[in-house]
Structure 1
């Protein structure tokens, strides 16, 4: 709780905004800022146009005599550590400071930084509220930027590839584009020990091509700066505050500003992004709320509950589910359930812009993937059975033809009966082994569908098992075929004496059948679990570098299995006729031709699935790779 004898409250109205800002400052004397206006010359700077005004200072577009350039100059009381804080930050989406001057005769500090000509997100919000939902797109952001730039003296729009990209984005994609850059800026600040504490549209500047720049660290807290107290200059804009920051501002609640962390800043950023998406914040605050204890009580109470469904209904119809989920996660009343870092939030926002990746993570409700999502058993069972049936059909057709010259009809019936019996034993046994080996692939999605929560380690193991699911089914299929054939061969040798050529042919044909069972089972199973199951696990837990490594290994295994599938027709043709005398070769030619035709169809299907898997793996790679590494 803030001690009243240490702090004084100064409520100010930010220019261009109807949002009250509570700022707690150390008690002082008069306010020399009142005399600073456009047209004034301070030091070597001509103050030309006012750009904004806050609780601690005023910002002007100015001309610097010595460098003959335009800069943004902030004039403030000389009692803030903002310049030292900004000097430690070097990020593309944080305003870059050049230097500072202290005006000894006035007790003011002059800090000059890069001039950002595209206005602020406040200008964008004003335009959003005037434009119908269906007419909003990335072009709206550029219109707001160009209007602000023209007011600052820039007439022609600044052409760039970024502007071309924004022109083709929907409005939700544009908001996600802005948010991912700001989230990474907050992550950089957090890594530097800095908490902004006043995220709002007026403190987010825009370049001429729409790139956002985080500004105004006047009430930030730098935990790495010696002597910097989290209580000094504490406050912020009430509308965008997290519930824990509102509690720290409340005079009667026991909440310590030192307990705030980057999740509080991310909460405020999520409020800003929600307001950009819908035109209003996700809370029903009074139009002219003040900062009395009663008003703060009501604001805190609203933010201690999840976002109301009627505010969620304000989201645009084309808002990707992954964007909605990311915002609601950041707006959770409990900081423990929010994203732990700006990078995590940014990754989700990047997914919202990646149309291929977001359809994997959040498929449309009407799609087949959405209906079968996180339900592995039906399709996995059918996929694995299909490969086994194709292999069994080939082996039966080929072996019965080859053995017709060596076995009587009764002996062939005995052998077929044994084959059926072994199949009835082997297939359920294989299923039982797989149920245990892939148990996490079954019971964890079952639990998630019913609202259960799992720790990150459990989810990581489930993801690993998912990517290995196709291999495990292939291994069980191969071992099952080898075991079954061994028993059949043992029985066969008791029924008749076989020539070495026929024996070698049967062994080779068994290997071909096993290859059919393995390759034609692997691809459909892997395709299903990667596209319809793995994304659900990926979005539930925090990912790790091992996830990317496993995806790379899966890509290599896919190439191996594709090679195996492609060689089935060639090996089958050779193995089906090898070692046999002419009469038996003539009898077996039908099964070999059927294998070649079926193998070519199987290769075509496998190749199609291989390329689909490659696209999915590339999308997952984008999901798991930080933009700084791309």
Structure 2
């Protein structure tokens, strides 16, 4: 490696290389955190473009979403053009398709809900991705999906129509307006590309493909897309119709938002059954959310035990976020928060272990501090599962002084619980709620 340091990062090893740069595992020297650093091609020299890239990086640093890769910032100075981001090491949807060729309806819908949740959040912030494709949907080791490379789309736009050998993959996902150069990319531009991604996940191939980029671009502009059902006859008609709408040439004929797409996906009369690499055991009766999002049993399933992939637990989070955006679009913020709060309280009371942990964390992050939230989290401090008790304590701590009615119970937990991780969480929660440090 010619350059081992790009201050304040030490480059450790190369993770990958593509048309828009090289990605390295790197160490942030100020705290030893391991991150991913992407170096942009030296061929990008347009000062206006690079300045825009830096401005977008500043905005992207503020994004906080469970299905978006966190960006720490970027820099364009001299011949240095790079940005740092959260390191995700579970591969991506492109890798998954190479391995499996295509995915089931259930798995596709499960991932699509997370995709829509990420896009809804970004679009609400006024950010259009402009480069949606399978390779930009990264997967954590437990299978959670995260959308990457937002800011890079700005730089990539300058090279798309010239670096044909390196960007052939991108051509397959370009909306007609991107090819024409007008109007400006918008949320529906991302939805067009997402429609192609969903088509590919279900069928194993993209709707428009040819030997040359020019032919692919012509197909996007002039040729009606094939139906998913023409390749996979068993696909549910509502899903087939939704993807067909997403692939319309006219922006106005596509769904209005990622929220609309997410709601349509959720309303499919399909039980989401996902068989993935990692499973956990639970014997709790299935809740309504579990009946929708639980994994299908494996053929060698142990009697009385259901197998739930860890990443499937993230799906209700996506649904909750989509519900919020849906209500916010109607100016109904208070009602939206109340509905989401009620859903998670139900999960905290009746879900399996991981569902209860996730519910506690989510109620803390929502931060409404309503009476029902505080009471349900306080009750969860008596949960027989220590991870749930710790999560409930942490969530109450996040509510600060609004959770003062729980301080007595948290104090007792900090002094008496038989698990050190629970006592640690309770001590920190007590400090945040009361301002006092327990010894």
- TM-score range, shorter-chain basis? 0.5 to 0.7
Are the counterparts in 2 of residues 83 and 100 from structure 1 also a CA contact under 8 Å? yes
- Give the structure-2-normalised TM-score: 0.53
Alignment match, 1:122? 94
Structure 1, gaps ≥5 residues long: 1-36, 137-170, 222-228, 249-255, 358-542, 550-627
Alignment match, 1:562? none
Alignment match, 2:221? 300
Are the counterparts in 1 of residues 106 and 271 from structure 2 also a CA contact under 8 Å? no
Matched residue SS, 1:352: coil
Deviation at 1:49, TM superposition (A): 3.5
Deviation at 1:261, TM superposition (A): 1.5
The answer as to 2:232 corresponding to 1:315 is yes
* Of 209-218 and 267-276, the range deviating more from structure 2: 209-218
Alignment match, 2:325? none
Deviation at 1:276, TM superposition (A): 1.1
Matched residue SS, 2:11: strand
C-alpha distance in 2 between matches for 1:125 and 1:39: 34
Deviation at 1:111, TM superposition (A): 2.0
Alignment match, 1:272? 197
Return closer, same or farther for 1:232/1:48 CA change in 2, 3 Å cut-off: same
Alignment match, 1:142? none
Are the counterparts in 2 of residues 175 and 277 from structure 1 also a CA contact under 8 Å? yes
C-alpha distance in 2 between matches for 1:330 and 1:44: 42
Alignment match, 1:93? 67
Equivalent of 1:180 in 91, 99, 113: 113
Return closer, same or farther for 1:299/1:334 CA change in 2, 3 Å cut-off: closer
Matched residue SS, 1:73: strand
C-alpha distance in 1 between matches for 2:2 and 2:148: 21
Matched residue SS, 1:98: strand
C-alpha distance in 1 between matches for 2:63 and 2:36: 17
Question: Please, what is the CA RMSD of the aligned residues?
Answer: 3.5
Are the counterparts in 2 of residues 98 and 113 from structure 1 also a CA contact under 8 Å? yes
- Give the structure-1-normalised TM-score: 0.38
Matched residue SS, 2:66: coil
C-alpha distance in 2 between matches for 1:38 and 1:123: 29
Return closer, same or farther for 1:231/1:200 CA change in 2, 3 Å cut-off: closer
Cα offsets for 1:430-484 (capped at 9, x unmatched): xxxxxxxxxxxxxxxxxxxxxxxxxxxxxxxxxxxxxxxxxxxxxxxxxxxxxxx
Deviation at 1:545, TM superposition (A): 9.0
Matches within 5 A, 1:489-504: none
Deviation at 1:97, TM superposition (A): 1.6
The answer as to 2:247 corresponding to 1:331 is yes
Structure 2, gaps ≥5 residues long: 162-166, 273-287, 289-328, 336-365, 369-439
Cα offsets for 1:543-591 (capped at 9, x unmatched): 9799xx9xxxxxxxxxxxxxxxxxxxxxxxxxxxxxxxxxxxxxxxxxx
Are the counterparts in 2 of residues 231 and 257 from structure 1 also a CA contact under 8 Å? no
C-alpha distance in 2 between matches for 1:202 and 1:95: 13
Return closer, same or farther for 1:112/1:346 CA change in 2, 3 Å cut-off: same
Matched residue SS, 2:249: coil
Alignment match, 2:262? 346
C-alpha distance in 1 between matches for 2:84 and 2:157: 26
Choose 1 or 2 for highest CA Rg: 1
Alignment match, 1:194? 127
Equivalent of 1:282 in 207, 220, 233: 207
Matches within 5 A, 1:162-181: 171-181=104-114
Deviation at 1:95, TM superposition (A): 0.9
Matches within 5 A, 1:86-165: 86-101=60-75, 104=77, 106-129=78-101
